[in-house]
Structure 1
Amino acid sequence: MLLKKQFGAARVTNESDGVRILRIQNVQPHHCGEVQLSVTHCGKSSSTLRAYTSLVVLPGPTSLQGDSTETTSAADKAIEALNGSELPEVPACILEGPQDCTAHIGGSVKLSVCYEAVPRAQVCWYKGCRPIVEQRNISIRSSAKRSTLLITEIAADDSGKYTVEIMNALGSDAAAASVAVEGPPDAPSGKPSISQGPDRIAVAWCGPPYDGGCMITGFIIEMQQVPAEPNDETDDLAGGESGWHEIATVVDSLAYTVKNLTPSATYRFRVRAKNVHGCSTPSLPSDPVELQAQEIPTEDFHRPICVKSGGDFKSRFEILEELGKGRFGIVYRVQEREDSKQILAAKVIKCIKAQDRQKVMEEISIMKSLQHPKLLQLAASFESAREIVMVMEYITGGELFERVVADDFTLTERDCILFLRQVCEGVAYLHTQSIVHLDLKPENIMCHTRTSHQIKIIDFGLAQRLNKNTPVRVLFGTPEFIPPEIISYEPIGFQSDMWSVGVICYVLLSGLSPFMGDTDVDTFSNITRADYDFDDEAFDCVSQEAKDFISNLLVHRKENRLTAKQCLESKWLTQEHDENLSNKICTDKLKKFIIRRKWQQTLQVPQRNQQIQHYNSNSNKSISKNNAPPCPIPRCLDAPQRRFG
């Protein structure tokens, strides 16, 4: 504010509503004249308002004797009236708009706007596109220079964009501000869903409909063990607070597996969401679930499947449904006619060529010699002129890798130890029988049931009997899992399987394929150089013992790899009580690995065998010159076509 005419004893004071008052003391006749007032708007340097008035000093005793209170008050009123009457008209203009703010649920928020308008402006507040009207918790106070919107007892619905508009006859202006309302989140929607296993229950739930205005930081799982005869049945069924206790906090997941529960007990579960402002109320309780008795002990699986020999397949078994179809035959779920409780899987293989029949008979011979709970069991076989039927135990759990990435499964390093220990048990038994599998890969490791942690190694179509006096060379396998000696067409050994176990372990812990290249030829090159590392962030939460276990298997020279028996005695597979083993392993990359594998399985199998032969063509030529035994007929395993059950 600038005063064009200078006064010796004058001051400007601020009153309410932005009014400025000029007070002049000891007025003298020479003060008469024109007074100019200049006002520059904040933030609008090019907009300056000017007002003019005339000051007339009349002679009288009061002016000569000084400034009494009554005289000063009268002069102030005269100046104000004179100034007001001569101010020019001004279009409505906002000088300072409302500011963005954050409020807590139940609190209050105040939005203010400072403006200038002559004549006085009309003020209207909006939320979205709707005008705001005063209510019990909403008040609007406006004056000539300012308007304030006050909201008390604020709720989540009060968040959003608020706009204020001022308008007079000369123009209008508007400004807006956003109000964020934060607080504890709502309870998760609905009630948790439950799926049970032998000693564990998988709990899955939905997120809350409102997150409290900020990020959800976790979910708290609560459990209640329902007594067989509750004292207060009404409170129990209504989900009262009796008996509920917190069992876990989960971050970045909508599922959790509760382990080590008491068999034959009944449980219920509920979930709370939490953010930085606190926890929600609990969700609805789940339906009561009674934990079934423990799974059959492992030693019970040693019992052979009781199927009588002899007879015709169609007269002995009733076909219930088709399970899968491939190049090598069709797999059915069948039921023994004499024992309706006996459900098995039957693979019907067309064998027109003598060579094909011989390979199937070799597989049957190998499977008949294998009696171990971690290996798929052959119950019976039937041979006719044009086909061979292999009847095996029926496995319902699906592939191991597909189970561990399911929403109701939380994968930890302790789970990986449990699975790899079983794989090594099965492989160790194979090797004691002088048999090498030669096609260990994720698709050939199955879960016994959908809720079981017991695994089965399947598909012995590429298995070979080894004799230490007769070197065996092969040129088949799955590119990502075959050892260097197969690519180099060198003699295989029992440790050839252990290389594949190392790759499976690497993939299970990280979701990454250690030797995968852009093409199969690149993959073969990485394998022959044993070129892999643990640099990816996926290994940040993996123990050093697990990395050492893999490093002792992915060794170029097979003689230097751990045997299956040594693996079972390794530090990693023998540890159980380390708390760090319970850390969750992210399975996002493993899901992508599974999707890629499914897509690859649609490729033509012969093409891959030709690539192995082409990559090693020079080695084959040199071996032929030295009168080495001829390369066996290439044959690669296609999991969907050769899966049992």
Structure 2
Amino acid sequence: PRFLFHFNGRIQGRSEVKPTSLVSFMQKKSVGICSTGFFSPKPAGFCLLPGLAVKFVEPPEKLEVQVGETAVLSCAFTSSEPVASCWIHNKQQVEDRSSITSDEKSSSLLISDVRPEDAGNYTIVVRNRSGSAQHSIRLNVVDRPHPPASCPFVSQLSSSSVELSWSGPGYDGGSAITGYVVEYRRVDAKEQGDWNELTSQCKNTSYRVPLELDPQGEYRFRVRAVNPVGISDPSKESDSITVDNEGNDVQEEAYVDVFTNTANSVKDHYDILERLGVGKFGQVFRLKHKKSGQVSAGKFFRGRGMKERAAARKEIELMKELHHPKLVQFLGAYDSRLEVVMILEYIGGRELFERIMDDGFEYTEPTSVCYMRQILEGIQYIHKKNIVHLDLKPENIVCVNRKGTLVKIIDFGLACKLEPGKALMVMHGTPEFVAPEVISYEPVGLAADMWSIGVICYILLSGESPFQGSSDAETLALVTEAQCEFDPESFRDITEGAKVFIRSLLQRDKRARLTCERALAHPWMVSFASVDPRTTKSLNKEKMRRFLAKRKWTKAGKAVLALKRMTHLSSKSDGPDSPSSPKAEQALQTLEQSLRTEPRFQQTLKDLSQPRGSTVRFFCTIYGYPDPDVVWLQDEEPVEEMERLQVEYEEDGTCTLIISDLRPEDSGMYTCCASNSMGVARCSARLSVEL
């Protein structure tokens, strides 16, 4: 149509105007229509083109279809006026008009032979002269999952079972993996048999195979992934596996329901042997069951107050949910008036990084992948239960025994179960391994563990810590910056895929970090699945040795100082949950209370014998919080410092008594006495001066 534009008494010109342009012009100039057909200033109370805006009628929120099917996205709407509509996908208007059917009441978009790339949000925009409206529909395209990313490999072998592990599929088909089908066939017979199903009920990426098969037989295994749509094609076959009964036996793990014994004391059923360790929670002792002789570990919780007992019971209830071959096994608990004790599987091996230093141990990139896979499998299990560990570090990755390559994750004292709709904010962790969101006192989730796994992987491959500063404050600042660099010398023999893997975990944005599933399916993890470590170049152990030498047990007091520094480094200073808020201060005070422990000696004094005139050094390592006061005694009399008798204290808790120009009167019993508000500890050794 042609209109003669007349505004403020002047003709502006003639032009062809589209209806939408007419509405736009009227809205911008705030004009109405007079009976003559010319524009005049909009009078008060005059309704522009009276009518109702578009309103959608019960529009769908999402649609799920399988690959190859036809998807029909449809929206109904009401309007008292003519409408125009269009569909938008990935910020682009859908141009194929043959797939769109529209009228005055609805619009439909048809997608035939749906493919995975068709998934996403589809937005319909509808406009009439009174305004516009839009609505988005989520299209989920589901398919059978891809096959598991790696073939099954043996992660544990015994005389009665084989434990297989594998990596999940690189693509889950758009729907969560619900389980795996494990298949086998015998290959040492004259005619290889068909594939047989061992189980279709495996829920994790590992499976213990009962050897109801011929123990002397040779077998291959493969795995299929399952989602609600269907079953994947099989994975690659494993290498041939033959059971070797010699030297491979490990303690069988039979997961059973455990309970808390409130009627007895732990001493009624167990002999308490040597102490294995001490922490802020209490002490761990080796136990031996009086009837069965089974050896286990007893975690004796400190404190009899309601708060301490509640924390102990919380950990016990959480451990009751965890049954996985890569996690320390929970065996039971005792809760009496005098103490709370948790009974755990006894793990005879050492910390992972210490195991690497053993002579003859193959330290290669493939063996590192093997360890990382086991760690990820254990954490994947707890993440599926919506549990976050929050204290992953080398000390909590322990070898099952002193000869094999199997590891378990221990110490769930800081672990928390995430609750829907409830933010979890914590102020604890080891500075080197803690995630940036912990330092910033932001809500934490499962991704916090993935950051720690990235740090562990970095150290495992290089022997260096990516964010270690000269002080805790500097370390926390480096973590906050999240700038991960790879020293060319330290990573000279490491593949580029490993660096990509680590970068994908050490992301400042927690949403960008790999999940356990994606990490297990990462090309770097998969590429070494079938590589023989013995054919790969060995990595240099020297840097790992130096890392372990520097990494001594940190004093509890130092940990509190680090947490206090976190509050000053955080940029958040306002709000009820900010580090400077009363809530955060209360959390810090609570943590400080839980760290209090009496003095204890990690390394005790040794008897010494030296000739007259020489120099001798007594040294021990003391821990405790608050920091202990230390007094040296000779035959129970205080030692006075002088020119030839000096006492040195180091930050790592080492105390050294140096006696130079030895004399006969220096002979005697020397005692180091450490005390704080929590208690007193002593250790002694004899000095003999040879004449």
Q: TM-score, normalised by structure 2?
A: 0.48
- Among candidates 272, 284, 292, match of residue 331 of structure 1: 284
Match of 2:550 in 1: 596
User: For the pair shown, which has the larger CA radius of gyration, 1 or 2?
Assistant: 1
Q: 1:439 Cα deviation (Å)? A: 0.5
Match of 2:399 in 1: 447
Aligned ranges for residues 43-62 of structure 1 at < 5 Å?
none
Amino acid of the structure 2 residue aligned with 1:349: F
* Contact 2:391/2:415, CA 8 A, preserved across alignment: yes
Q: 1:522 Cα deviation (Å)? A: 1.4
Match of 2:591 in 1: 634
Amino acid of the structure 2 residue aligned with 1:378: F
Q: Tell me the distance in 1 between the aligned counterparts of 2:577 and 2:259.
A: 47
Aligned: 1:582 with 2:550: no
Match of 1:516 in 2: 468
Aligned: 1:462 with 2:409: no
Give secondary structure in 2 for the equivalent of 1:595.
Answer: helix
- Among candidates 475, 478, 496, match of residue 448 of structure 2: 496
Aligned: 1:605 with 2:562: no
Match of 1:218 in 2: none
* Contact 1:502/1:550, CA 8 A, preserved across alignment: yes
Amino acid of the structure 2 residue aligned with 1:518: S
Q: 1:311 Cα deviation (Å)? A: 2.8
Q: 1:630 Cα deviation (Å)? A: 3.0
Aligned: 1:548 with 2:505: no
- Among candidates 386, 411, 416, match of residue 338 of structure 2: 386
* Contact 1:552/1:561, CA 8 A, preserved across alignment: yes
Amino acid of the structure 1 residue aligned with 2:501: F
* Contact 1:375/1:458, CA 8 A, preserved across alignment: yes
* Contact 1:446/1:456, CA 8 A, preserved across alignment: yes
Q: 1:539 Cα deviation (Å)? A: 0.4
Aligned ranges for residues 159-558 of structure 1 at < 5 Å?
293=246, 295=248, 301=253, 303-304=255-256, 309=261, 311-340=264-293, 342-558=294-510
Q: Tell me the distance in 1 between the aligned counterparts of 2:411 and 2:497.
A: 30
Q: 1:452 Cα deviation (Å)? A: 1.8
* Contact 1:305/1:393, CA 8 A, preserved across alignment: no
* Contact 2:297/2:346, CA 8 A, preserved across alignment: yes
* Contact 1:322/1:330, CA 8 A, preserved across alignment: yes
* Structure showing greater relative contact order (alpha-carbon pairs closer than 8 Å, 6 or more residues apart): 1
| Cα displacement string for residues 147-204 of structure 1 (whole angstroms, at most 9, x for unaligned residues) | xxxxxxxxxxxxxxxxxxxxxxxxxxxxxxxxxxxxxxxxxxxxxxxxxx989xxxxx
* Contact 2:265/2:334, CA 8 A, preserved across alignment: yes
Q: Tell me the distance in 2 between the aligned counterparts of 1:351 and 1:526.
A: 36
Gaps of 5+ in 1: 1-196, 200-262, 265-290
- Among candidates 615, 622, 632, match of residue 569 of structure 2: 615
Q: Tell me the distance in 1 between the aligned counterparts of 2:575 and 2:265.
A: 50
Aligned ranges for residues 64-103 of structure 1 at < 5 Å?
none
Q: 1:590 Cα deviation (Å)? A: 1.1
Give secondary structure in 2 for the equivalent of 1:323.
Answer: strand
Match of 1:6 in 2: none
Q: 1:301 Cα deviation (Å)? A: 3.4
Amino acid of the structure 1 residue aligned with 2:459: V
* Contact 2:573/2:579, CA 8 A, preserved across alignment: no
CA separation of 1:465 and 1:443: change in aligned 2, threshold 3 A: same
Amino acid of the structure 1 residue aligned with 2:318: I
Match of 2:87 in 1: none
| Cα displacement string for residues 269-315 of structure 1 (whole angstroms, at most 9, x for unaligned residues) | xxxxxxxxxxxxxxxxxxxxxx96263589x5353498995532111
Amino acid of the structure 2 residue aligned with 1:527: V
Q: Tell me the distance in 2 between the aligned counterparts of 1:305 and 1:608.
A: 40
Q: 1:568 Cα deviation (Å)? A: 1.0
Match of 2:9 in 1: none
Q: 1:606 Cα deviation (Å)? A: 2.1
Give secondary structure in 2 for the equivalent of 1:392.
Answer: strand
Q: Larger strand proportion, structure 1 or 2?
A: 2
Q: 1:329 Cα deviation (Å)? A: 1.9
Gaps of 5+ in 2: 1-155, 159-214, 217-243, 603-622, 625-691
Q: Larger helix proportion, structure 1 or 2?
A: 1
Aligned ranges for residues 109-128 of structure 1 at < 5 Å?
none
Q: Tell me the distance in 1 between the aligned counterparts of 2:557 and 2:540.
A: 29
Q: Tell me the distance in 2 between the aligned counterparts of 1:522 and 1:577.
A: 41
Q: Tell me the distance in 2 between the aligned counterparts of 1:362 and 1:347.
A: 14
* Contact 1:335/1:343, CA 8 A, preserved across alignment: yes
Amino acid of the structure 2 residue aligned with 1:615: L
CA separation of 1:623 and 1:517: change in aligned 2, threshold 3 A: farther
Q: 1:428 Cα deviation (Å)? A: 0.3
| Cα displacement string for residues 429-480 of structure 1 (whole angstroms, at most 9, x for unaligned residues) | 0101110000100000000111121111000111011023111111111000
CA separation of 1:324 and 1:305: change in aligned 2, threshold 3 A: farther
Q: TM-score, normalised by structure 1?
A: 0.51
Q: Tell me the distance in 2 between the aligned counterparts of 1:428 and 1:525.
A: 29
Amino acid of the structure 2 residue aligned with 1:311: N
| Cα displacement string for residues 483-527 of structure 1 (whole angstroms, at most 9, x for unaligned residues) | 111111111111110000000000000001001111212111211
Q: Tell me the distance in 2 between the aligned counterparts of 1:583 and 1:626.
A: 47
CA separation of 1:595 and 1:549: change in aligned 2, threshold 3 A: same
Give secondary structure in 2 for the equivalent of 1:363.
Answer: helix
Q: Percent identity?
A: 37
Q: 1:331 Cα deviation (Å)? A: 1.4
Give secondary structure in 1 for the equivalent of 2:551.
Answer: helix
* Contact 1:350/1:386, CA 8 A, preserved across alignment: no
| Cα displacement string for residues 103-125 of structure 1 (whole angstroms, at most 9, x for unaligned residues) | xxxxxxxxxxxxxxxxxxxxxxx
CA separation of 1:531 and 1:452: change in aligned 2, threshold 3 A: same
Amino acid of the structure 1 residue aligned with 2:551: R
* Contact 1:447/1:454, CA 8 A, preserved across alignment: yes
Q: Tell me the distance in 2 between the aligned counterparts of 1:626 and 1:516.
A: 23
Amino acid of the structure 2 residue aligned with 1:331: V
Q: Tell me the distance in 2 between the aligned counterparts of 1:292 and 1:437.
A: 35
Q: Tell me the distance in 1 between the aligned counterparts of 2:521 and 2:400.
A: 25
Amino acid of the structure 1 residue aligned with 2:418: L
* Contact 2:573/2:580, CA 8 A, preserved across alignment: no
Amino acid of the structure 2 residue aligned with 1:337: K
* Contact 1:302/1:373, CA 8 A, preserved across alignment: no
Q: Tell me the distance in 1 between the aligned counterparts of 2:331 and 2:556.
A: 30
Task: Please provide the CA RMSD for this pair.
Answer: 3.2
* Contact 2:282/2:301, CA 8 A, preserved across alignment: yes
| Cα displacement string for residues 373-399 of structure 1 (whole angstroms, at most 9, x for unaligned residues) | 111111111112232111100011010
Q: Tell me the distance in 1 between the aligned counterparts of 2:424 and 2:402.
A: 38
| Cα displacement string for residues 212-247 of structure 1 (whole angstroms, at most 9, x for unaligned residues) | xxxxxxxxxxxxxxxxxxxxxxxxxxxxxxxxxxxx
Q: Tell me the distance in 2 between the aligned counterparts of 1:436 and 1:446.
A: 19
* Contact 2:260/2:333, CA 8 A, preserved across alignment: no
